[in-house]
Amino acid sequence: MNTAQATELRPRVAVTLGDPAGVGPELIAKLLSRPENVAAADILLISDETELRDAGEDAKCPIEYVTEPTPGKPLLYDNSAGRPVEVFERRAATEAGGRWALGNLRHALELAKKGDVDAILFAPLNKSSLHLAGMRENDELRWFEIILGAEDYTSELNVLPGLWTARVTSHVSLAEVDAGITRENVAAAGRLLDKVLRESGIAAPRIGVCALNPHAGENGKFGRHELDIIAPAIGDMERDGIDAKGPFPSDTIFLRAKAGDFDGILTMYHDQGQIAMKLMGFDGGVTVAGGLSVPICTPAHGTAFDVVGKGIATTGSIQNAFDLAVKIGARRRAASSL
């Protein structure tokens, strides 16, 4: 591949700095201070000069950017017209901060709809800020669906090096989980996990499926979800050519994953997977919005108001999220050029 071809296939990644009250801006500044990151993709910063300057000061590493397209330099997509008149309060959930974060993300999604970017990376958001700003959906994934006009099954996926998880139900109360565990939903979530694992470069993903009930239902004694819903859904996945096994008790399946038995685990509800994943690697976790027309990645941790401006925010998760956005974006860009 010659230099021109390599440049043409380099992914275009839109980057937003997340909630301005949190650690997101300084994490992006640290991320972009590494030359190898800037060289990995054509980066489009959706922000304004004020936010970029403040982020660089917090991180003690100024963000270098350009305002006209220049090879090898992050390009600023100036959204200063969308900046709220209120001064952002730091280390707190606010309506103004949520409005700014949503406005920048909306620009990234609109660029994706036009085919101008191959992936999106956003720094941590605060759901309280988003809801104060008017977001009515339970989480940003449902908001992404609306903006992008998604029609296929979507799910939030969580990633550690060597292991992915997907959920059949996500940000709902435990009382609502039962209604969401259907044969169709379990199979759809499994198909999505298989698809995204393949997009990440795993040619033949191995998926373990969690049971819902203790002891995998104990052959119906503790509930029949495993017999009547989950096992038939696994059969549907297998008929689609997916290597899916289970259902396995959720208190042992992650030990099997740690031993290398699975590339991905399909869980039935939010904390069933999140507790294990955060214990296994809180500082490096990534969240992926799966099933959308564009890959969207973010650190699995939150806005960390308690460490803002202290210079101790670690970059493991934001680096992994950026690397994954670049990897999937590059594969999609290469596939579209064939």
- What length does the chain have? 338
pLDDT tens sequence across 206-259: 999 999 999 999 999 999 999 999 999 999 999 999 999 999 999 999 999 999
The whole-angstrom separation of Cα 17 and Cα 187 is: 35
Question: What sign does the dihedral 210-212-215-220 (CA atoms) show?
Answer: negative
| Domains delineated in the chain | 1-150+292-338 (3.40.718.10), 153-286 (3.40.718.10)
pLDDT tens sequence across 108-118: 999 999 999 99
Confidence band (pLDDT; 50, 70, 90) for 7?
low
pTM for the structure as a whole: 0.92
* pLDDT beyond 50 at 106: yes
Q: Which residues contact 246 (CB under 8 A, 6 or more apart)?
A: 208, 209, 210, 211, 230, 231, 234, 253, 266
* pLDDT beyond 70 at 1: no
What pLDDT, on the 0 to 100 scale, is given for residue 2? 45
* pLDDT beyond 80 at 9: no
